[in-house]
Every structure is written in structure tokens, then in C-alpha cells.
Chains A and B, each alone.
Chain A
């Protein structure tokens, strides 16, 4: 052992004497003047979120294709650098640093979860890169975790739940049971829902929380059945949501219910897995694929051409993120992150979801939110938009904890 260690030590010593005296670790990363504008995408490529990661990248790809075909943004071509992560914030941070320092990216997109964004936001100024969040909905990201270099393109959880609350009186059912995931967003949603329900004159007969990764909802469903509820507000994500819906079906829960209202539970990627069980379910919808404006139609056509299927909220929100970035670059007349960041403050532009504004105080993009019902369209399922809530109704005032 001694000899091996001695050998290693000698090698290290030799190496250090031979090396030039550079100072330790400098940041490289100087976007070439006039060269392509580089955007790093860091989607998750493993785990349950992998599908969303792939679709997020697709949204960006279509946006970049259209932009480059139209002559680029501010005369420069956009180049996408697609990386990958496992959704662990430590990994994502490492990859982001690599993208900025090795690959010269100045903008970051397609990062998925709120914890990743929280960790990333803290480092953005140091990295000198802007991040466009089209997927992480946590309120804190425009609150105490905000950053002058981060832009929140998707609705926050508060905006989503406020949108639902405003349409609550239209939904049938008077005795509501709340089934939520034992997670920050689950509790937050439950609280807001209760307040809205009381205002709409509904009664809450049961409120229960299931830990994340619950596979057996039997006890919860049994309790709902016994509570005499005639409507359910369900906040269960991903695999939990699928298990819940499937088991509710087996217990014949739908028989006694007039409405099932999901919150971020029933979404297009799950339609095939969930099948006809969810026909008639309601859910909050962030993006209306049938949106009647030229930007959206151009997007839907281009996306369908590129990827063979119509877009849903994940690629759409990422396309919107791209649009926001491009609008900022055009407005600033430069691709320097600091300039773009400043230009985006209070900028309004036309997008696939209509006219939107980037609020300067917390960098939240102000946009509409919808309530949708799952209906059958031929053999497939789709959302039929029931009502539309505008940002002045849904968006809370900027959080004072956010300091830019």
C-alpha cells in the first residue's frame, strides 16, 4: 500500500510542478458575438417524469425550428443543447454548470420539478444564465426563491387553484370529499379549495391526505364512500393518481358521485392509461389546444407536423417559454442575459395563449387558466374547455418575499 501511495503522491507532485500557475477555476462562458444563441435544455430522462421531459424538448424544438426558418432571433440562429438529468437537484445543478461553462449556454429550459428550480434559481446569477421555467409550479419560485434571472412561464399552483375556485359554483355536487397527496401542493390546494367551497355554499364532509407513493387507496376510498359525499376533489399525481382512479373504479365510487374534480391529476398523457373511467371528470387545464388565435394554430400545425401528435400543456408551455425568451431578445436587441432579463420586465407580447405580460416584480407570466371536462371525441378522449379565468382573477399580488 505504501508504495502505491508514494507513486500517486509523486505523480501529483510532478504534475503540479509542471503545470502553469493558473488561478483555480475560472468561469468560461462568453456567448460568441454574432454566433448562434445557445439554449441548454435539462429535462429528466429517467423515472416517471421522463415522458414529460421528452415532450418538453419537443416543444422547444418546434419553436426553434420556426424561429430559425424565419431568419433567427435578432438575426442570430438559435441552437439547442439537450442534456439530461434524473430530477435530483444536485445532478441538475451539476449539468447546468457544465452546460454554461463547457458548452457556452446562456439560457436554460425544460427543467422540470420545483425543487430543481429552487436549487437552480439560487445559482443563476453566479452562472450568468437565464432560466425559463415552464413546468415547476411551486408558489415559492415567484416568492422567496425568485431570482432576477428566472422567469416563470407556467401558472403557479395558486393561479391554478384560484382558477378552479372561481368556477366551483358551476359544478354539481354539494357534499365534497377532499383526497389530496400529503405534499406541499396537496395541502395548499386543499386549503384554498375549502375556502372557495365555503364561499360557493358547498359543504366539506371529509378531508384526507395520502403519503406520496401510496399504492393502495382502499382505505381512503372506503372512507369516502362512507362519508356520504356526492363529489370529490382529488389531488393525486402521476402513479398515485392512476392507482386512485383505477381503484375508485373497482370500488364503484363513481356511482354515488356527481362530480370528480381533479387538480393536476388527470392530464392528456394519462388519458390512454386511465381509459374511459375518467369520462366526465373535471380537471384544471393550463393550455387550450383549440385556442383560437393565429400563433396557436401555427404552433399546433407545426408541432403536429414535427412530432406526429397534437401538443398538450407540457410542450405548449415550453413553446411559450421559447416565445418569451425570443421576445426578450428582440426587445433587448441583444442576447446578453442581463440585457434580456431587463427587457423582459413588464414586457407584453402575443403568444399561443393570447396576449401575455411578464410581471416585473416577480417574473410571473400573466396568462389565462381553464377548467376542462374529459369528453369522448370519436374513440379518443380530450378536454372540452368549460370556462376561462383571466390573470386578474387568478394571480395573487407579487409576494413581498421576492426581492429582485
Chain B
């Protein structure tokens, strides 16, 4: 029994991990708390619904992150770059406005009904793992998310672009002086962050029912994860995301009413005790 519950937690944590790493990247580099991240996640899920309805789910996994990356490019070029001398809070509020618009536009296009996406054939049904019968689809989410996390960390640590990203996230001015093309790095980071949000949405679609409130529901949790994990630290966000997912799911088993308050409790404790977050100022 407990194995299944833990797996539930890991599945939720995986989703949070993918979603929050995108947010952490944008926050780390641009300093902007992207309030539109929940809306991006929701858009990804809804686009995935349409794509897998017309074609198939695998195509959705490919197309949706690309579509969201394009949105990310627009975000960077139209808002973040021209307004970069403005304060972070103001940029955050702009993304808040964008979130309000995006949520309404999604409803105007897809309607208010709850929608459902069925996972592809091979991933349907259950697999027996650790003595428990567990939905195959959820297992695949875990696998994909962990693989993605590993790839992301390796890329950030190992590649040249990754080095530039880490440098710019640490101190954008000095990195610029040292010759890093900050504009290009920004573009990459923002579109990658948005693509990750879209991917999370696609993965979540067969897992959770699609409904216009899904963006808001996750937004606060993800913001909390990023703050708890450490401002700008992608690794920290990942760990915090997984941790929060597990803790919240496991506490649902004992006391659902308490489980709802867990993220807020975590945030308050962390912000009071270690305001820079669990991982502190390290970027990866």
C-alpha cells in the first residue's frame, strides 16, 4: 500500500519538478516571478488536448513545448527585454496581467467544460511494480520527468551555453561585461522555461482533468516551490518540487485538511528561517 502512495507522491512531485524548473530558470535570469507560468501550463495542456484529439498524444509531446517556446520568445522580446530596467515587481505584475488575459482566452477558445485526454494505448492500464498495481501512465511521467531533470542539470553544468546561463543568472551585469551575450542567453532561458511549462501541461493532461481553473491551482504551489527551493536555483527548485509533491500526497493520506496548508506552512517557515531558500544562492 505504502509503495503506491509514495509513487503517487513521486508522480505529483515529478510534475511540480518540471513546472518549477522552468519558473526557476526565468526567475534566476530575469529576476521576474513569472505569474503567467500557471497560464502557460494550462495553455500547454489545452493545446495538447486538441493535438492529441486530432492526431495523437506523441505528436503533442513534440509540438506543445515548441509552441510554448514560441510564446516564450514573444514574452522575452515584447516584455522582458524592453522593460528590463523596470523593477522586478512591476514585471511580475505585468505577467500577472498576461495570466489573466491568457486564462480568459483559453476559455474563449476551448469553453468552460471539463475536458479529458486519454493516454496513448501503450501507456494505458497498470504495471505491477514493487508489489503494487500502478497506472503505467503515471510511471511514465516519473520516468520522463527524471530523465528531463537529469538532462537539464547535465546540460547546465556541462555545456557552454549552460555556463553562460549560470553566469548570467548569478550576476547579469558582470556576465555581460565578461562577454556573455546576455540577450541571447535570456532568449534561450525564457523560451526554454516556457517550453518546460508546456511540457508539464502536456504530461499532466491525461493525469488530471482539464479545467479552466487548473492554471491558478498550480501557480501558487509552483511559486512556493521556487521560493522554497532557492531564488534562482534550478536544482533547488527541482528538489523542492519533488519534496513538496511527496509530502503533500503522503499527508493527504493522513489528513486531507492539513495537506492543503502544507505548501503555505513550508513557505512561511523557509522564508522566515532562510530567506534565500533552501539552496541559497547557488544557481544549479
> Is A in direct contact with B (CB under 8 Å) within the complex?
yes
Task: Assess whether A25 is interfacial by the CB under 8 Å rule.
Answer: no
B256 touches A182 (CB 8 A): yes
Report chain B residues within 8 Å CB of A293: none
A252 touches B114 (CB 8 A): no
Roughly how many angstroms separate A223 CA and B4 CA in the complex, as a whole number? Answer: 9
A186 to chain B, nearest CB (A): 12
| Chain A contacts with B in 240-256, Cβ cutoff 8 A | 242-243, 246-247, 250-252
The range of chain B's interface size is 35 or more
Considering only CB atoms, which chain B residue lies closest to A240 in the complex?
A: B209
Report chain A residues within 8 Å CB of B119: 250
The range of chain A's interface size is 35 or more
A51 touches B8 (CB 8 A): no
Residue in contact with B217 in the complex, picked from A215, A225, A226, A252, CB distance below 8 Å = A215
Interface of B is mostly: mixed
Task: Assess whether A219 is interfacial by the CB under 8 Å rule.
Answer: yes
Report chain B residues within 8 Å CB of A345: none
A252 touches B209 (CB 8 A): no
Task: Assess whether A172 is interfacial by the CB under 8 Å rule.
Answer: no
Roughly how many angstroms separate A246 CA and B135 CA in the complex, as a whole number? Answer: 11
Report chain A residues within 8 Å CB of B115: 273
A239 touches B126 (CB 8 A): no
Task: Assess whether A297 is interfacial by the CB under 8 Å rule.
Answer: no
Binary per-residue interface labels of chain A (208-224) against chain B in the complex, 1 for a CB within 8 Å, 0 otherwise: 11110111101110110
A211 touches B112 (CB 8 A): no
Roughly how many angstroms separate A49 CA and B116 CA in the complex, as a whole number? Answer: 17
B1 touches A239 (CB 8 A): no
B209 touches A51 (CB 8 A): no
B108 to chain A, nearest CB (A): 11
A51 touches B133 (CB 8 A): no
Roughly how many angstroms separate A164 CA and B115 CA in the complex, as a whole number? Answer: 28
Residue in contact with B260 in the complex, picked from A211, A222, A251, CB distance below 8 Å = A211
Residue in contact with B114 in the complex, picked from A46, A210, A250, A273, CB distance below 8 Å = A273
Report chain B residues within 8 Å CB of A220: 252
Looking at A219, A251, A273, the one whose CB has the most chain B CB atoms below 10 A away is A219
Having A246-B116, A251-B126, one finds 10 other A-B pairs with CB under 8 Å, namely A48-B114, A48-B212, A208-B256, A218-B4, A219-B5, A222-B5, A247-B207, A252-B133, A273-B115, A275-B118
Residues of B within 8 A of A (CB): 1, 4-5, 8, 11-12, 107, 111-116, 118-119, 124-126, 133-135, 137-138, 207-209, 211-214, 217, 249-250, 252-253, 256-257, 260
**Nearest 3 A/B pairs, CB to CB:** A218-B8, A250-B135, A243-B209
Residues of A within 8 A of B (CB): 46-51, 182, 208-211, 213-216, 218-220, 222-223, 225-226, 238-239, 242-243, 246-247, 250-252, 269-270, 273-275
25 A/B residue pairs, CB under 8 Å, sorted by A: A47-B112, A48-B112, A48-B114, A48-B211, A209-B256, A211-B257, A214-B256, A215-B208, A215-B217, A216-B12, A216-B208, A218-B4, A218-B8, A219-B5, A223-B253, A226-B1, A239-B114, A242-B116, A242-B209, A247-B135, A252-B125, A270-B114, A273-B113, A274-B116, A275-B118
